[in-house]
Chains A and B, each alone.
Chain A
Amino acid sequence: MKRKFRPLELLLLTIALSSAAADKALNVMTTIPDLADIAREIGGHAITVESIVSGTDDIHAVSVRPSLVAKLARADAVIEIGLDLEHSFLPSLVEAANNPKLKREGRIVVSEGMIPKDVPTVISRAEGEQHPEGNPHMNVGPDSGKRFAKNICARLCELAPGNESLFKANLKTYLAKVADKEKEWKAKGAKLKGVKFVTYHPDFVYFSDYFGMESVGTLEPKPGIPPSASHTAQIITRLKEINGTKLILREPQYSDALPTAIAAQTGAKVVKIAIMVDGLPEAKTWIGMIDANLEAIIKALE
């Protein structure tokens, strides 16, 4: 006797098998929007992503909202830069969320395996609000995206092995895209070599070192310490001694009053930069942020 429901059985079997093979979408939180962008590129439809911080937040003084606790309580993973960058908000939120996953397999630190710059030799609060393991603002470095993407891919594969082929295929596509952009950045950024600049906070070293720019100092005398009159006078003196173009790179998190005043006295140009995705209107993605910063600086040099 013919079995009437064979097609239905086959359909149900197929659905069951495909459900077993493919994990449900991972719920991923990231600390900064750059990591959310890269995670979306790698994770595709297999993950949902949200960033805790927005592109214009001061990462050292993030306002902790209880609603973030509820989101982290349901998350499968949280992606962070590490190196103490997120110390002002992430540990307290993770503790309040009480999600065991985020304390173990669900914690993804993208700076793993990367050599940090500016590792302090003297650990002391007298040196300001130090990051003892090195400068954590790695996301602004044009060569950081590749390592972030690889680390995110490796960990997503562990968390959702059923989607490993998707993650790896997306990683390959993204790495190829970044490789093409790197060629473009190197070509465009050649004119940045030797350009002297100041920033408010030491958060641009990974970008400036990549292009061979030279930092003259920061408006903060030490990290996290507000500018003083004597230190500002020193910066003005240093800028006045520079022949040629000099730049004051202004992060959106800090006031523009002081950079504007210094620029008026020294002839330096103030350039708005982003230190996170969405820090500038054009910086909608991580690649877009590098593009936007590069364009802004090149425009100031012209």
Chain B
Amino acid sequence: MTVRRRFLCFSVLLACAFGCCTAEDVAAQLKAMQAQIKKMNHSLDMQSKTIAEQKRLIDDQRKDLETMRGTSPGSQPVIDDILKKFDVLEEKIDDRTAQAIKIASRKKPGDLNMAIGAAVDTSFGYTSVRAGDYDRPAGADFRMRGAELVFSMDVDPFFKSYLVVNASGDGENNDEATLSVEEAAIYTTSLSHVTVKGGRFFAPFGRLSSIHDHDLPFTTRPRSLDTYVGAESGGDGVQVQALIPIQHFLQITGGAFNKLGGEFPLLNATGQHRDGSEMTFFLKALTSFDYCNDHTVELGASAIEVPSDRIHRDLTNVEVTYKWHPKIGSALKEKLIVGAELMRNCVRTQFEVDAGPPRVLSADRRTGYGGYAYAEYFHTRHWSMGARADFFQNVDPTLASTRTDQTYTAFATYKFSEFSRLRIEASRHEYFNGRQGNEFLIQWTAFWGAHAHDFNGR
């Protein structure tokens, strides 16, 4: 019953997503669905009542026999035998009921539903001074940060696939939202301890680089990640992730990509030949430790490298996340998460100065450090608040500054339910060009459709 209802619900959602139905069609379909569900529930109710009535009759008979046994000791063996038969009969009723329910719940071929989910993420903000590297203005700004659609499905017994399309307001294009494919990947599901993934996806560099903007613990991505990685660590490539078959959790991930993020660029996109050294390579190890089930510490190390001679980049990262989640006592509804990532960014690039025929004028190697640390305290399942400190050193050889860019942020989140939340965030920026600014944001996010909790988002 419920499988058919779920299939009908997703069919309607899918039709609406592609604009195939008018609002009146959808309303009519929903009404028809509700009527069908009522009918099926009524049928099940009637069956339950019949079964309950049969059991009541058996109970009544049993009570009568118990009374008889007390008043007529001579017939005890006969009565005991009848009581045993009643036990067997009741068990048969239970088993028959179970079989009937299993048959009724059996999935039919039409129930191969794809999971569809979406997220709508918006914000209002005010910034006193904007750094030169943002595409949003200073001052007041409403922003459609993201409208994201996610599709996922088991392809067959061996693979699963998913697709994420996203649109966000583009300040350089009159705030128009251009749809783009953020992720489209296939991964294995039948290999023990190993997952192979290919396509376009986010490599799990560090802790937050593979998290979508609307799923971050705060509104803005740390500037150190934005600058060193370039937004999310997405690219086209292949990745192998292995869970080492030992008692302790140890996960090793490695991959090769055309590029990763915005800062590991696509080399020779339309050139004659892309050398293997011009691809981007990624490696990560992650482990965790538990103490008394209340405390968990996760430790990880990752690295991204473009080994090319022309533009050599390597970015290494260590991450640590501490979680306190008490299981007993008055504090058991509370939770504390402390997370930090520290990166070393090493860039060697050859750059041109004149506008004439490209010629190499200088080669420069810059090394800089950056990272962030944050803490978020969950007072209840619905309320949380936190703070973050973020810094990074400039590694752009065309900029003379040797200052450290710093940001200090406070944020608070209220979850109305598992599917919607409101967040406020206030930041103080000290940019490495010497300017300072304050930023205030209110973020409003809603999730709908199929709802999956991802392990990466833990």
- Judge if A147 is at the interface, Cβ distance under 8 Å: yes
Whether the pair B249, A69 counts as a contact (CB closer than 8 A) is: yes
- Judge if A129 is at the interface, Cβ distance under 8 Å: yes
Whether the pair B2, A226 counts as a contact (CB closer than 8 A) is: no
Given that A98-B194, A113-B101, A115-B101 are known contacts, is A121 also in contact with B333, CB under 8 Å in the complex? no
Closest residue on chain B to residue A95 by CB atoms: B455
Whether the pair B34, A121 counts as a contact (CB closer than 8 A) is: yes
Specify the main secondary structure of chain A where it touches its partner. Answer: loop
Specify the main secondary structure of chain B where it touches its partner. Answer: mixed
Q: How far is the CA of A73 from the CA of B37 in the complex (A)?
A: 39
Closest CB in chain B relative to A99 CB, distance in Å: 7
Given that A54-B293, A67-B290, A113-B99 are known contacts, is A119 also in contact with B452, CB under 8 Å in the complex? no
Given that A114-B98, A254-B333 are known contacts, is A100 also in contact with B417, CB under 8 Å in the complex? no
Whether the pair A92, B34 counts as a contact (CB closer than 8 A) is: no
- Judge if A88 is at the interface, Cβ distance under 8 Å: yes
- Judge if B108 is at the interface, Cβ distance under 8 Å: no
Closest residue on chain B to residue A90 by CB atoms: B453
Question: Which B95-145 residues sit within 8 Å CB-CB of chain A?
Answer: 97-99, 101-102, 105
Whether the pair B243, A88 counts as a contact (CB closer than 8 A) is: no
Closest CB in chain A relative to B64 CB, distance in Å: 16
- Judge if B48 is at the interface, Cβ distance under 8 Å: yes
B47, B94, B296: the one contacting A65 at CB < 8 Å is B296
Closest residue on chain B to residue A63 by CB atoms: B325
Surface stretch bound by A, among B72-80, B185-193, B212-220: B185-193
- Judge if A298 is at the interface, Cβ distance under 8 Å: no
Closest residue on chain B to residue A128 by CB atoms: B417
B-chain residues with CB within 8 Å of residue A74 when the two chains form the complex: 245, 247
CB 8 Å contact bits of A223-252 with B (1 = contact, 0 = none): 011100000000000000000000000001
B-chain residues with CB within 8 Å of residue A64 when the two chains form the complex: 453, 455, 458
CB 8 Å contact bits of B65-90 with A (1 = contact, 0 = none): 00000000000000000000001000
Whether the pair A115, B97 counts as a contact (CB closer than 8 A) is: yes
A-chain residues with CB within 8 Å of residue B191 when the two chains form the complex: 98, 100
Whether the pair A93, B455 counts as a contact (CB closer than 8 A) is: yes
Whether the pair B418, A224 counts as a contact (CB closer than 8 A) is: yes
- Judge if A11 is at the interface, Cβ distance under 8 Å: no
- Judge if B381 is at the interface, Cβ distance under 8 Å: yes
A58, A73, A146: the one contacting B243 at CB < 8 Å is A73
Question: Which A251-269 residues sit within 8 Å CB-CB of chain B?
Answer: 252-255
Whether the pair B192, A99 counts as a contact (CB closer than 8 A) is: yes
Whether the pair B419, A125 counts as a contact (CB closer than 8 A) is: yes
- Judge if B403 is at the interface, Cβ distance under 8 Å: no
- Judge if A141 is at the interface, Cβ distance under 8 Å: no
- Judge if B28 is at the interface, Cβ distance under 8 Å: no
- Judge if B310 is at the interface, Cβ distance under 8 Å: no
- Interface range for A: 35 or more
Closest CB in chain B relative to A249 CB, distance in Å: 17
A-chain residues with CB within 8 Å of residue B327 when the two chains form the complex: 54, 56-57
A132, A134, A225: the one contacting B417 at CB < 8 Å is A225
Closest CB in chain B relative to A262 CB, distance in Å: 18
CB 8 Å contact bits of B435-451 with A (1 = contact, 0 = none): 00000000000001001
Closest CB in chain B relative to A114 CB, distance in Å: 7
CB 8 Å contact bits of B313-326 with A (1 = contact, 0 = none): 00000000001010
B-chain residues with CB within 8 Å of residue A119 when the two chains form the complex: 1-2, 41, 44
The total number of A-B Cβ pairs within 8 Å is 139
Closest residue on chain A to residue B98 by CB atoms: A113
Given that A113-B101, A114-B98 are known contacts, is A255 also in contact with B333, CB under 8 Å in the complex? yes
A92, A95, A123, A224: the one contacting B9 at CB < 8 Å is A123
Closest residue on chain A to residue B59 by CB atoms: A186
- Judge if B366 is at the interface, Cβ distance under 8 Å: no
Whether the pair B102, A98 counts as a contact (CB closer than 8 A) is: no
Question: Which B189-235 residues sit within 8 Å CB-CB of chain A?
Answer: 189-195
Whether the pair B293, A73 counts as a contact (CB closer than 8 A) is: no
Whether the pair A92, B453 counts as a contact (CB closer than 8 A) is: yes
Q: How far is the CA of A71 from the CA of B287 in the complex (A)?
A: 13
Question: Which B329-356 residues sit within 8 Å CB-CB of chain A?
Answer: 332-333, 335
Whether the pair B5, A147 counts as a contact (CB closer than 8 A) is: no
Given that A54-B327, A65-B288, A66-B249 are known contacts, is A226 also in contact with B298, CB under 8 Å in the complex? no
B-chain residues with CB within 8 Å of residue A16 when the two chains form the complex: none
A69, A115, A123, A150: the one contacting B455 at CB < 8 Å is A69
Whether the pair A121, B453 counts as a contact (CB closer than 8 A) is: no
Whether the pair A98, B193 counts as a contact (CB closer than 8 A) is: yes
- Judge if B248 is at the interface, Cβ distance under 8 Å: yes
Whether the pair B5, A69 counts as a contact (CB closer than 8 A) is: no
Whether the pair B245, A73 counts as a contact (CB closer than 8 A) is: yes
Whether the pair B455, A129 counts as a contact (CB closer than 8 A) is: no
Whether the pair B335, A112 counts as a contact (CB closer than 8 A) is: no
Closest CB in chain A relative to B184 CB, distance in Å: 18
22 contacts between A and B (CB under 8 A): A54-B293, A60-B381, A63-B323, A63-B325, A66-B296, A66-B458, A70-B247, A70-B250, A87-B451, A87-B453, A92-B455, A92-B458, A98-B189, A98-B243, A100-B190, A112-B105, A132-B6, A133-B2, A179-B87, A224-B418, A255-B333, A255-B380
Interface residues of B (CB under 8 A from A): 1-2, 5-6, 9, 34, 37-38, 41, 44, 47-48, 87, 94, 97-99, 101-102, 105, 189-195, 243, 245-251, 286-290, 293, 296, 298, 323, 325, 327-328, 332-333, 335, 380-382, 416-419, 448, 451-455, 458
